[in-house]
Amino acid sequence: MTEGALYTYGVFLKPLAAEFGWSRAAISGAYSLSMVLFGPCCIVTGRLNDKYGPRIVVTACGLIMGLGYLLMSQVHAIWQLYLFHVLAASVGVSIFVPLTSTVARWFVKRRGLMTGFVVAGVGVGTVVMPPIANWLISNFGWRISYAFMGIMALVVITSASQFLRRDPISVGLLPYGDSDVTEAGLNSTRQGLSLWRAIHTGQFWILLVMLLLFNIYLHGVMVHIVPHAIELGISAAIGATVLSTIGGVGIVGRIVMGGVSDRIGSRLAITFCFLIPVLALFWLLAAKQVWMLYLFAVIFGFAYGGFVALQSPIVAELFSLGSHGVILGSIIVGGGIGAAIGPVVLGRIFDLTGSYNQGFLLCASIAVPGFILSLFLRSAVTKSPREKIEPH
């Protein structure tokens, strides 16, 4: 629900521009500001989840997100667009951290696969929400569409959050796969590096920069792929379907790559997910027909989905679980900055050139150093044989 609503922003871009006469760069700026603040929100929700658990945190995020989208339906000035979208996106989407961090605490074995299943919901939302938003806008206008998303967030997120628990130990159980481990293993949810120690390792900064680069091209594409399709003479409905295809294939990528990481490790799996987008983005430069856009969506969506599923497991693998939520949230700060840069840069490039080609070339170019950095990931935690447990 949360990220599915987030990725409808590209569907709303042209209706907002048509009604208010704002440039694409200006409208994209609201999305970019939300992504800048998304990172700090993830630090807060990660820290609160480490301390209080996901039920309280996710409930609060759902309430704020729903309010934000309801207010979006009342926008009349550009500053309102920026303010209300920050509430809806920055706070709402930050529930990614408590949810995935909770999964990491519940599973020792099959951590990657289970994370993949949980974040597959992001892909379902990306499949479902853009076509729904496009249909609502076409039939009822963009204001009613935003109000609908606000009501959905209030009902779905706050209701589902009541069933969440921080970790199995809090209800007298052991994490899956931890039943045959020594007493040190029983305390595995409290082991690992603190945030202070983590930020003094090179691995923390490598992972942060990787997320920054990944989110530049991911969010640049997700916001502008529908307007790009329209510029090619393709209908907005088909453009929204291309966007939802990225999300749909992303479901497969999450589950498949989550399971693969249990076998080969998150580090090798994440390297693979950085290599594929390089090829897909260069293909997008040549894609002028509908089938070519769909092929891009399949390749790009698989890699995107796989990377999303691997973020929480790679943090657990590199830093263990003691401060997993706040470390994951802190690293996502880099992703938030990248998500802020991508859409506004691509929007500005279009405003200057009338084309997205140079923007997509930039996206393809920055995917390369991300792939190179992934080759240098190493565990930052050293454990004694008595404390050592399986990473997944």
pLDDT at 357 over 70: yes
Question: Which tens digit of pLDDT belongs to each residue from 255-302?
Answer: 999 999 888 888 899 999 989 988 899 999 989 899 999 999 999 999
Distance CA 315, CA 211 (A): 12
Asked if the structure places residue 112 within a domain, the reply is: yes
Question: Which tens digit of pLDDT belongs to each residue from 85-128?
Answer: 988 888 888 888 888 888 888 888 888 888 888 888 766 776 78
Asked if the structure places residue 381 within a domain, the reply is: no
- Residues 356, 362, 368, 371, CA torsion sign: negative
Question: Which tens digit of pLDDT belongs to each residue from 7-19?
Answer: 788 889 889 999 9
Find the domain containing 66 and state its range: 2-166+187-374
Residues of the chain with pLDDT > 90, as a percent, come to 35
- Encoded tokens for 232: 């090619």
Question: Which tens digit of pLDDT belongs to each residue from 300-327?
Answer: 999 998 998 899 899 988 998 778 889 9
Asked if the structure places residue 380 within a domain, the reply is: no
Q: What is the total count of domains within the chain?
A: 1
Of 26-35, 74-83, 369-378, minimum mean pLDDT range = 26-35
Question: Which tens digit of pLDDT belongs to each residue from 194-230?
Answer: 888 999 999 999 999 999 999 999 989 988 898 899 9
pLDDT at 171 over 90: no
Number of H helices, E strands in the chain: 17, 0
pLDDT at 83 over 90: yes
Q: What is the pLDDT of residue 183?
A: 43
pLDDT at 59 over 50: yes
Assign 107 to helix, strand or coil: strand
pLDDT at 361 over 70: yes
Q: What is the pLDDT of residue 388?
A: 42
Task: Give the confidence band of 362 by pLDDT, cuts at 50, 70, 90.
Answer: very high
Distance CA 190, CA 360 (A): 43
Asked if the structure places residue 387 within a domain, the reply is: no
Asked if the structure places residue 291 within a domain, the reply is: yes
Specify whether the backbone of 46 is left (phi greater than 0), alpha (psi in -120 to 50) or beta.
alpha
Question: Which tens digit of pLDDT belongs to each residue from 134-168?
Answer: 899 999 999 999 999 999 889 989 998 898 887 77
Asked if the structure places residue 181 within a domain, the reply is: no
Q: What is the pLDDT of residue 137?
A: 92
pLDDT at 2 over 90: no
Q: What is the pLDDT of residue 123?
A: 63
Q: What is the pLDDT of residue 122?
A: 66
- Encoded tokens for 189: 């949810």
Mean predicted confidence (pLDDT) in 175-199: 64
Contacts of 291 (CB under 8 A, 6+ apart): none
Q: What is the pLDDT of residue 69?
A: 93
Q: Give 174 or 242, the one with higher predicted confidence.
A: 242
Q: CA separation (Å) from 58 to 49, 93, 184, 189, 382?
A: 9, 10, 30, 20, 33
Q: What is the pLDDT of residue 178?
A: 66
Asked if the structure places residue 175 within a domain, the reply is: no
Assign 131 to helix, strand or coil: helix
Q: What is the pLDDT of residue 373?
A: 93
Asked if the structure places residue 228 within a domain, the reply is: yes
CATH number at residue 204: 1.20.1250.20
Q: What is the pLDDT of residue 191?
A: 65
Specify whether the backbone of 383 is left (phi greater than 0), alpha (psi in -120 to 50) or beta.
beta
Mean predicted confidence (pLDDT) in 353-378: 90
